[in-house]
Amino acid sequence: MSSITFTDPTSAPPPGGAFDRFFLKLIRDPRDLPFARVQVMNLVVLLALTIWLYADFRWYNALLFVAWYGFQLGPYTLMLHNVCHRKYFRAEYSWLDWPLIALLGMPFGHMPNAYFAHHVGMHHPENNLDDDLSSTMHLQRDSAWDFFYHYLGRFLVLGGHDLSGYLEDRDRTKIRRQWRLGILTWFVVVVGLALVNWQATLLVFGFTLIVTRTAMMSGNWAQHAFVDATRPDNCYVNSITCINSSYNRRCFNDGYHISHHWKPTRHWTEHPQELQDHLAEYAAADAIVFRKLDFFMVWVYLMLKRYDKLADCYVPLDDRQRSKEEIIALLKERTRRIPEAKLAAAPA
């Protein structure tokens, strides 16, 4: 059996000064203290940059905002991802969710409650299968046309309509109500601020909404690009894992997508150990693991059909001696469009 050396975080940085001691009184799990640093830092810096834009919209102010937004989009979004799956604040401080998570996300392109409704209310229960609105199965996963037109295009135009219908059909009334409240809040804020400065509003809320949703869909595409058509419901072969990357160190081990789909509430610090403990199961299933890649680069290589680059980062999980050509053949097989008829005929 192959052994893997991990450089991804398996623990949170130890608490420091007064700031950390204060937040430890508010949150449920001390391991989530890095989230507080992301929240407060962005509450201060992003709020200051946004106010500056509205007070004096100039190209260099806009450039500073975009630079900070791009730098912090990953840490903020993956903080949001984690707190959607595991309650973050203690019950008596749950009111802090709205200012430090929901409203803070708006300049990052997130409508309040929308991420939770789509990701927790829909994506995880459906697990990339037919009823998953973001399923990749029936598309060619190395096709730029399929991604931009059939996948991203539909999501940007009809995503809200589709999600509303899904939540109504599944009788997830509370999630649907919270999602609608978030959309209403977003529109009220955006319309109100557009009357103050339409240029700043277009950048802070319009530009970020499109870019963030494009980034999230490209990430989901990569996370579920390599699917075994005979076992599409098996998380080992409908998701991938990326290890030993700077992305994992900045974004709370988000690369461990197989582990996350097996147990969505698993704490972010536990993912490397989960892979180590279940390496035999990963190997037996022929799971796809990459090293020193993030999901965005996986997506880029797929759009460019650079299977050679993906093969260079492929991690062998057992003692099979696959050649580079055999690895490329495996990856290409897993990215093929899965016709619905073939899926229906697949063994349970």
| pLDDT recorded at residue 348 | 41
HEC profile for the chain? CCCCCCCCCCCCCCCCCHHHHHHHCCECCHHHHHHHHHHHHHHHHHHHHHHHHHHCCCHHHHHHHHHHHHHHHHHHHHHHHHHHHCCCECHHHHHHHHHHHHCCCHHHCCCCCHHHHHHHHHHHHHCCCCCCCCCCCCCCCCCHHHHHHHHHHHHHHHHHHHHHHHHHHCCCHHHHHHHHHHHHHHHHHHHHHHCCCHHHHHHHHHHHHHHHHHHHHHHHHHHCCCCCCCCCCCHHHHCEEEECCHHHHHCCCCCEHHHHHHCCCCCHHHHHHHHHHCHHHHHHHCCEEEECCCHHHHHHHHHCCCHHHHHHCECCCCCCCCCHHHHHHHHHHHCCCCCHHHHHHCCC
Consecutive 10-residue averages of pLDDT for the chain (348 residues): 80 85 95 95 94 95 97 97 96 93 94 97 97 97 98 96 97 96 96 97 98 98 97 97 97 98 97 96 97 97 98 93 96 94 48
The pLDDT score that the predictor gives to residue 346 is: 52
Cα dihedral 278/284/288/291 (nearest 10): 50
Domain boundaries, the chain: 235-345
pLDDT score, position 1: 57
pLDDT score, position 141: 98
Nearest CA among 266, 267, 257, 252 for reference residue 235: 257
Which residue type sits at 203?
L
> So what's the pLDDT on residue 319?
84
Residue 128 near residue 227 (C-beta atoms within 8 A): yes
